[in-house]
Chain A
Amino acid sequence: MYEWLLGTGMHPSLANVILGLAKAVLIITFLATSALILILMERKVAGRIQNRPGPNRLGPGGMFQTLADAIKLVSKEDIIPSGADKAVYLLAPVVIMAASTALWVVVPFGPSTAVQDLNIGLIYIAAVTGINVLAFLMAGWSSNNKWSLLGSMRSAAQLVSYEVALVLSLVAIGMMAGSLKLSDIIAAQQGGIQNWFIFPQMLGFIIFFIAGLAEANRAPFDLPEAESELVAGYNTEYSGFRWAVFFLAEYANLMVFSALTATFFLGGPAGPLLPPIVWFFIKTYAVIFVAMWIRWTLPRIRIDHLMNLGWYVLIPLALINLGWTGLYVLWRG
């Protein structure tokens, strides 16, 4: 496409801008559509687990329920609390949406299909996931609501401590593949299920999965918004479209976390017969299903236990995993 744009006599930098914008629009559309599907899936899975049908009125099997909800949310009155720090309050949903969209830049949908296959893919992921905290803090602080403040303090504590375990498990992946580039990581897992990183990296997989759930604010780690404790946590004061953006970002985060799990541990788009992108989605949705299953089964963990789990269990385990990976890589030669 880039060449085609240049062929029309366009200036290279303008062509770059247009290409970038096109990709961004594509990713945002993809995210919005995925969120619609995911929300419906979540409600259906929850319904099945809880012995009830879930949404089933609007369209076949309740397909249009999320769409109707989205329309409702968008058409709601835009409320800004009078005591809120207006600029920060308005900016927070933008920041969280930017952070969760930015992660998709490096996610490989196929062996060579990514928005931008960065050399430093792993470092990029580690860096961008950290931005989420900022958005939560902004939302909680600017709302001028004590429950929001508590929720955002929780999210800061939680995300910062789980980031460490997450990044340590990513380092092990980088060692296994010998590269920080996501396409190389996929390439290293080609050639059948025995080459998937989940087997030598079982410990890493467990750490990544738990830390990822915490990063994506999924139950049992959904403390920042713990609705039965903190009313709605950091987004207590948000309503209408802004709340919808937070909601969208939550599902975008879940999706990206699942996609990364599939990429790092389950061979990414690798698989027989079907095209790579289909395998990518099969694996991603399988991980998403497990996350939903966990959410609707377990009670919520308490904040101090969460911190203990992070610092006393996951991080030491991640360090052990790092040592093991080093030995494994040496032995493998």
Chain B
Amino acid sequence: MAQTSDTLGSPPLSVPVEHELFINMGPQHPSTHGVLRVLLKVDGEVILDAKPDIGYLHRCFEKIAERRPVTQIIPYCDRTDYLAAITSEWPFVMAAERLLNVEVPERAEYIRVIVAELQRIASHLLWFGAFALDLGATSAFLYAFREREKLLDIFQKLTGARMLYNYLRVGGVRNDLYDGFADDVHRFLDDLEDKLDEYHRLLTGNRIFESRVKGIGVVTAEQAIAYGASGPVLRGAGVPYDVRKAHPYSVYDRFEFGVPVGPSGDVYSRYLVRMQEFYESMKIIRQALDGIPEGEFMGKPPRRMRLEGDTYARVESPRGEVGVYLVGNGGENPWRCHYRSPCFVHLQLLGPMAKGALIADMVAIIGSIDIVMGEVDR
């Protein structure tokens, strides 16, 4: 059979010898979560080498940001990590607030925390479903979407949008919580608790599932730190690093929550970490809903937002540490806006993780690092 070598300027793999085969996984593959292309060198089903090839969803976010005033950049942030739009907006808004010295009212900070944690739950629900689907458990996928749907309804009532909210503003949030928001959220969380038990019964103890995820795609703690991993990938490797704890922002220091870490850095550890994070997010939301003060939801940002100086703001997104490095030179547009994407970093770990695994494991590994290509390519 004819073997095609790597093309289109993709990163080079060594030339295949006898028994070896190049396989192009993606950009149109059911399990690459968007338009990721992975070049695989396989011997039978064993992966000898894997190189991710990205850029299929590049939309010049950083360059566009240099040509827009601050308020107009926020909707672009939504479109980086479209499954967690709130936590994509947040670091940018936070950086702008720092450069502009804008005070954020306490109520607005609480609202931000609540929506960000709801966003984490929504994103993890989607991850759970897609991960289960990758492993062939079709029903779990639809169960997760059933719950996510209820959450998106809440978001729709609050922000008017279901995915790309454009909800955070420099100095606060666009609108206050609607009447009955707390009841809706409490009802959703109570329901979710039952449903999480169901998910655990469906997958966590399943023999086939465990055999598919245990010991696969191992990342050691040293490796994860060396590559700059964050979020569940780093915590799965046993490093208790969470931006919300390590560099507390907003009002996170007022809430009690744990930082779940995994036992061994494999796919299963990352799975367990995320499953545990559902409960931690629920804890935070419940505390925030109880403690939310009355007051303004919007501060007093200047009418003309002239950015001066530079700053780096970071938040813990469902995928890891999202950061924005914002530089202003006195104009209304940022002079430079760098967006740090955790998925971009995690994708570098794909090669080391996949070596020696089977093609079926590759799917599990990609699922377990929970990539969103919009964020990788920006």
Contacts and interface: CB of A to CB of B under 8 A. Distances in A.
A296 interface: yes
B363 A50 contact: no
Contact of B360 (A51, A149, A298, A302): A302
B58 interface: no
Interface string A134-171: 00000000001011011001100000000000000000
Interface in B186-219: 202-203, 206, 208-209, 211-212
B361 A302 contact: yes
A301 interface: yes
A256 to B, nearest CB: 24
A302 B142 contact: no
Contact of B136 (A83, A149, A299, A304): A299
Contacts of A304: 358
Contacts of B206: 298-299
Contacts of A144: 1
B134 A228 contact: yes
B305 to A, nearest CB: 46
Interface stretch (B23-31, B114-122, B294-302): B23-31
Contacts of A305: 208, 211-212
B360 A219 contact: no
Interface string A184-223: 0000000000000000000000000000000000011010
A98 interface: no
Contact of A226 (B21, B138, B139, B360): B360
B79 to A, nearest CB: 26
Which of B21, B138, B142 neighbours the largest number of chain A CB atoms within 10 Å of its CB?
A: B138
A49 interface: yes
Contacts of A78: none
A128 interface: no
Interface of A is mostly: loop
B139 A299 contact: no
Contacts of B203: 299
B108 interface: no
Given A50-B143, A299-B206, A228 B358 contact: no
B45 to A, nearest CB: 6
Interface string A281-322: 000000000000000111111111100000000000000000
B259 interface: no
Contacts of B358: 302-304
B247 interface: no
B245 interface: no
A230 interface: yes
B212 A231 contact: no
A299 B360 contact: no
A69 interface: no
B21 A228 contact: no
Nearest to A141: B1
Contacts of A222: 136
A298 B135 CA distance: 9
Q: B-side binding surface: helix, strand, loop or mixed?
A: helix
Contacts of B212: 299-302, 305
Given A150-B45, A229-B360, A305-B211, A299 B137 contact: yes
Contacts of B45: 150, 154, 303
Contacts of A83: 2
Contacts of A297: 137, 139, 202
Interface string B109-153: 000000000000000000000001111111100110010000000
Contacts of B1: 144, 146, 149
B139 A228 contact: no
A244 interface: no
A147 B359 CA distance: 11
A11 interface: no
A57 interface: no
A301 B133 CA distance: 13
Contact of A301 (B44, B143, B146, B211): B211
A204 B128 CA distance: 37
Contacts of A150: 23, 45, 359
Contacts of B137: 297-300
Given A228-B133, A230-B359, A299 B209 contact: yes
A124 to B, nearest CB: 33
B138 A51 contact: no
A296 B136 contact: no
B363 A146 contact: no
A52 interface: yes
A220 B146 contact: no
A150 to B, nearest CB: 7
Given A227-B30, A228-B134, A302-B360, A296 B139 contact: yes
Contact of B143 (A51, A154, A299): A51
A75 to B, nearest CB: 25
A74 interface: no
A304 B360 CA distance: 10
B31 to A, nearest CB: 5
Contact of B31 (A50, A228, A298): A228
Interface string A33-55: 00000000000001001111000
Contacts of B211: 301-302, 305
A50 B137 CA distance: 11
Contacts of A220: 136, 208
B4 to A, nearest CB: 9
A227 B134 CA distance: 9
A298 B360 CA distance: 16
Given A228-B31, A229-B359, A302-B361, A50 B139 contact: yes
17 contacts: A49-B139, A50-B142, A146-B1, A150-B359, A220-B136, A220-B208, A228-B133, A229-B360, A229-B363, A297-B202, A298-B208, A301-B212, A302-B358, A302-B360, A304-B358, A305-B208, A305-B211
